[in-house]
Structure 1
Amino acid sequence: MDIGCPTNVRHVAHVTFDRFNGFLGLPSEFEPDVPRKAPSASATVFGVSTESMQLSYDSRGNCVPVILLLLQSRLYDQGGLQEEGIFRITAENGEEEHVREQLNKGVIPDGIDVHCLAGLIKAWFRELPRGVLDPLPSEQVMQCESEEDFVKAVRLLPQTEASLLNWVINLMADVAECEHLNKMNSRNIALVFAPNMSRMADPLTALMYAVQVMNLLKTLVERSLREREMASSRLDEDDDSDQEDEEE
């Protein structure tokens, strides 16, 4: 059957997707149905490449998907860092499915359990088409024995994965700083995040690699905590010095 050329075609609008500002050029009559700043050009914010997602910068300059920043902000606002077993306790499946549907629209419903929010952050990393640490040569990761080795290894990550890793390390460090309340130290939080950061195809080496990934995350979290303590000490010293100058 021959198909002829289309007729009576009218160009309504040229719509593009900007990674930082969402959909651009959307006709005003469609705006009530599609959020002006959609979190993703795909139908879902889970299981898709970050290249199709709306991005923004966190307070440390990491360029990450907006949906992660929204989840993090809500988790912190609802006192999730102080909740015992945060990121370890599993939320109800029914609630998570409902929230997923809303997140695809760029909306986080009110009254969501903090364990559900934490679980969705882990799920986002777990369902990436490629794990954050997958660009690293597994042989090099397995050979790491010291903090210097781990730091040298993660420097090989592409910019996108490096930003995601830095973001999640600081998130884990925030959790570990509240260990006296949430019972989650650097090892505990690294243990629950490790399975979500890489995909080892060979089942014979998957367990050993997961343990090494946990060691990598734990080492980087402890390094971040140590750097924070040093920065805080320097600020205290500067404040004391300023106070002495004022007294003189």
Structure 2
Amino acid sequence: MNGSTYHDNDAEWVEIVEPQSQQRMYANLETGDCSWDLPERARLRPTNDRQWWELFDGRTSRYYYYNAKTKATVWKKPPVADTDIIPLAKLQGGVPSRECETQTSALPPPSSGRSTREPQRTAYAQDISPETGIVTVRSSPIPTDPMSASFKAMSLDRRLEQSMLGDAHDFFPSHSPIEQSYDTPSTISRNRFPNDSCSPTRSVERRSLEDEGAEGWSKDAPKLPLSDPCSKTLKKEVGTLFKHIQSYMGDRKTKNNPDQLALSICEGAAARVETADEACLLIVRQLTRNERVESLRKGWELLAIVVALSQPSKRVASQVHSFAERYADKSLDPPGVPVSSIASQVLRKLNKTTARPRPSLASVHEARVHIFHPPQFGATLDELMIMQKGRYPHLRIPWIESTLIDLVLNAGGSSLEGIFRVAADPEQIATAKARLDQWLVPAVSDAHVAACLLKAWLRELPEPLIPPSMYQRALDAGENAQEAAHCAALLSTPSSLVLARLIRLLQTLAKEECVALTKMDASNLAMVVAPNVLRCQSDDPAVLMQNTRREMSFIRTLIIHYDTTFSLET
């Protein structure tokens, strides 16, 4: 970085802070060139939280982005509009050049007083990535550019960790910033948390899988549980749990059926969150640096099954989420293993807020099928619209809603007593649900089956048709027809269309000639449907009871007064 490289003094520059020494320098927004002094006539842009540093991750050969203001680190390039991307990757060294990029680096400031002969412990920027968030310390006989010396705390999920575990100053033990290693939720390690009574200092010891070869794939079970080293219960379970995982992945000979192995793992994980945490971390460890293609494929498959049938704690879920997020890019798939597809399903299951199915051989098989054939139930409206785009490009509501509404009416729901209130045969429901997940119209002779499936589909939407942000407004609308209609109209597409088609069905069933046979008037229909459209966020029984009546009132008002003719265009 010498003066001759700054011929474009009219370009805009921004002041940046070198993370380790906190010394200030200036970066050219266009070229990424850095200078300790602002070039003459250069225009200085104020520092703000919309400025990102573009850096390079040597492990995955991908660029990533660091926000020095918020300390956020992300893989995806932030939107260009109203955002400054400062190309600082070249300061890391060893980075593939892009067009118009040169390998330059910042010289030490004149006042640094550093000796070029004295060996120094330096952390290189190319050792940092959103993958690990780790600063690696090594010796160097020559001082290197301070911009490539340390990028402390550039963790992909740093803010998430702080929100879950408290302020970072309390969470991490006090070590020299340059020698302290940080891990992220994507680096699973032996963890000791502040409330761990078996730790005399009650501090945190967090070592990344990337630090120790033994922490990756191993033929031997860990000596201590990964999720809680002090848990006596887990110490007894970890050996057997590890053997089951090894056997499923094909790393250990066994006579047991793979489905039975997966069921044993999931039954324990569903029964105790502690076991679910340990199972997830063990699988992640066995997937780390695993070079066996079949073992890798089966391991990812098992992880998808476990998170589909059990719910790990928020802490471990965030770790697994970050781990899976790293592999959701199809371009990074190893030969013969569709890791990105499975990782995407793992992310989807982790984000699911509704109850998991009970572990059984049937649910294990279903979870495996859903890896490559995502289900209709539990998917968001946006996901459903994307999934059906190739099959039904002109349909503006989810195919499954349109199909179930037709089945309710075609199977005689308008004349069947107790429609939407009477339960249906569980086996018929399961069979029909399986066909719907395969985009096949089930043969339904009992309208109760279709009605139960329609309620289940609405109930399992990750976000209800009336989202939390609109919930109170819907309650306040009550019996005010104009306000209730306005509230429905404010919903995003396709939520407004989905709600309109549902209300259209209920309006048909609420006609006098139908009510005479079904015994289900507008109030009765609103009573059974409202809990599937609105969800109260409170756990207070008194609030739940009071809001139930107001939810029913809102749906009843829509059934009686809402003009849904526009929904017929779909």
Q: What TM-score, normalized to structure 1?
A: 0.68
Alignment of 1:208 onto 2:550? no
The share of aligned pairs that are identical, in percent, is 25
- Of the three residues 499, 505, 509, the one matched with 1:165 is 499
Q: Equivalents in 2 of 1:214, 1:68: separation in Å?
A: 21
Q: 1:179 is matched by which residue type in structure 2?
A: V
Q: Equivalents in 1 of 2:553, 2:464: separation in Å?
A: 17
Written as runs of structure 1 = structure 2, the 5 A alignment for 1:40-119 is 43-53=374-384, 54=388, 63-119=396-452
Alignment of 1:149 onto 2:480? no
Q: State which structure, 1 or 2, has the greater radius of gyration over its C-alpha atoms.
A: 2
CA RMSD of aligned residues (A): 3.0
Which structure shows the bigger proportion of residues in helix conformation?
1
SS state at 2:510 partner: helix
Structure-2 change in CA distance of 1:113 and 1:194 (3 Å): same
Structure-2 change in CA distance of 1:89 and 1:7 (3 Å): closer
Q: Equivalents in 1 of 2:498, 2:290: separation in Å?
A: 51
Query: 1:113 offset after TM fit, Å?
Result: 1.7
Q: Equivalents in 2 of 1:98, 1:188: separation in Å?
A: 28
Partner of 1:240: none
Query: 1:6 offset after TM fit, Å?
Result: 9.2
Q: Equivalents in 2 of 1:169, 1:45: separation in Å?
A: 21
- Of the three residues 536, 540, 559, the one matched with 1:221 is 559
Alignment of 1:190 onto 2:523? no
Length, aligned pairs only: 193
Q: 2:493 is matched by which residue type in structure 1?
A: Q
Written as runs of structure 1 = structure 2, the 5 A alignment for 1:231-242 is none
CA contact (8 A) 1:84 1:181 kept: yes
Deviations 1:65-111 (A, max 9, x none): 11111122222222121111111100021221121111111123324
Structure-2 change in CA distance of 1:217 and 1:57 (3 Å): farther
Q: Equivalents in 1 of 2:529, 2:380: separation in Å?
A: 19
CA contact (8 A) 1:135 1:157 kept: no
Structure-2 change in CA distance of 1:208 and 1:86 (3 Å): same
Q: Equivalents in 1 of 2:472, 2:455: separation in Å?
A: 25
Q: Equivalents in 2 of 1:47, 1:119: separation in Å?
A: 15
Structure-2 change in CA distance of 1:7 and 1:203 (3 Å): closer
Deviations 1:142-183 (A, max 9, x none): 322422222232232112211111011101001111112211
Deviations 1:90-146 (A, max 9, x none): 002122112111111112332442101110011110000000011543332332242
What are the ranges of 5 or more consecutive residues in structure 2 without an aligned counterpart?
A: 1-288, 292-331, 337-371, 566-570
CA contact (8 A) 1:147 1:220 kept: yes
Q: 2:457 is matched by which residue type in structure 1?
A: W
SS state at 2:494 partner: helix
Q: What TM-score, normalized to structure 2?
A: 0.31
Q: Equivalents in 1 of 2:400, 2:500: separation in Å?
A: 16
Structure-2 change in CA distance of 1:42 and 1:166 (3 Å): farther
CA contact (8 A) 1:130 1:198 kept: no
Q: 2:524 is matched by which residue type in structure 1?
A: N
SS state at 1:52 partner: helix
Alignment of 1:125 onto 2:461? no
Q: 1:160 is matched by which residue type in structure 2?
A: P
CA contact (8 A) 1:173 1:224 kept: no
Q: 1:48 is matched by which residue type in structure 2?
A: A
SS state at 1:137 partner: helix
Q: Equivalents in 1 of 2:517, 2:420: separation in Å?
A: 14
CA contact (8 A) 1:136 1:154 kept: no
Structure-2 change in CA distance of 1:44 and 1:148 (3 Å): same
